[in-house]
Amino acid sequence: MATILRDGDLSLLDGSVAVVGYGSQGHAHALNLHDSGVQVVIGLREGLSSWSDAEEAGLEVRPIAEAVRGAQVVSLLLPDQVQPKVFTESVEPSLEPGAAVLFAHGFNVLYERVRPGEGHDVIMVAPKGPGHVVRRLYSEGYGTPALIAVERDASGSARETALAYAVGIGAGRAGIIETTFKEETETDLFGEQAVLCGGTTELIRAGFETLVAAGYQPEVAYYECLHELKLIVDLIWEGGLQHMRWSISDTAEFGDYTSGPRVIDERVRETMATLLGEIQSGAFAKRWVEDMDTGEPELTRLRAEAEGTQLEAVGEELRGLMRREDARAVG
């Protein structure tokens, strides 16, 4: 079993930490570090609206190059697509000798799209949750688990720096696990493709469309295949698969055991292995990088194709009714 780490030495972050980017992860890391007593400087492109958001939250904001200058840890929290360009143009020329470069996801390092020079630690602190949850749980006194990794240890203390940063953003409260850039990136890509995002969205869509094609009301199909999913996942998240099965009816449990393996059958498992192979060989990264580097034509087309479905239209209407204020007005 993996060793779960809880504690680190925050004094390793003395001096300042430059958090480049103030989006989902950026705002969460910056505010959590700040509240943990670490001196944080936000690096942003001038003219962004997030500049005033960060200042209003009580943080110091500078243009990227200025924030990087003087920082001992530079956390690159920009969208993965823009990291290579911003790193080369605005971060690298201002990096202090010996400064550590920190990532929240391993993609750009594993596939060699961002390459900090020899004298710099290259580390990762990857929270296993969306940025807004990382911030909310910290504010409530809890934390989001995180993975840490060292790609290059130039200073001799790269691991301890990553650990300190992870503790600073509150991950120690939930558990920190050591990994490698390769393991984090490959499992992250696999998870989002096969289970969390791709697998789940298609499972919902297939279930909804099967019911609607058979003549059932779309609203009923929506409640069944999408709305209730969250309630079931909440139970699984709280106590595992058997806890969920304990809570549902025996009829639902019987159908779970008898039909689940027929939906996720041998063919699906083989497809999952194929996806993993494409991730491990770099074929998936190659396809996505080519798209990113040419203005994302494939992503734009896929996004447009996914819009305007009956599932989304029905959902928008029903979710409108379930907004808290409307529900109160009726009830």
Residues that bind ligand NAD (CB under 6 A): 21-26, 45, 48, 50, 77-80, 82, 86, 104-105, 126-127, 130-131
Catalytic entry in 29, 34, 105, 120? 105
Which of ligand NAD, Mg ion, none is residue 126 near (CB under 5 to 8 Å by kind)?
Answer: ligand NAD
Contact pattern from residue 168 through residue 197 relative to Mg ion, giving x for each residue in contact according to CB under 5 A and a dash for the rest: --------------------x---------
For residues 13 and 54, which CB has a smaller minimum distance to ligand NAD in the complex?
54
- In whole angstroms, the minimum distance from the beta carbon of 278 to Mg ion comes to 17
Crossing angle of helices 24-35 and 131-139, rounded to 10°: 20
For residues 104 and 176, which CB has a smaller minimum distance to ligand NAD in the complex?
104
For residues 169 and 314, which CB has a smaller minimum distance to ligand NAD in the complex?
169
In the complex, which residue's CB is closest to ligand NAD? Answer: 23
For this structure, is 105 an active site residue?
A: yes
- In whole angstroms, the minimum distance from the beta carbon of 156 to ligand NAD comes to 26
- In whole angstroms, the minimum distance from the beta carbon of 166 to ligand NAD comes to 13
For residues 93 and 261, which CB has a smaller minimum distance to ligand NAD in the complex?
93
Which of Mg ion, ligand NAD, none is residue 247 near (CB under 5 to 8 Å by kind)?
Answer: none
- In whole angstroms, the minimum distance from the beta carbon of 185 to Mg ion comes to 10
Contacts with Mg ion, residue ranges (CB under 5 A): 188
Residues carrying an active site annotation: 105
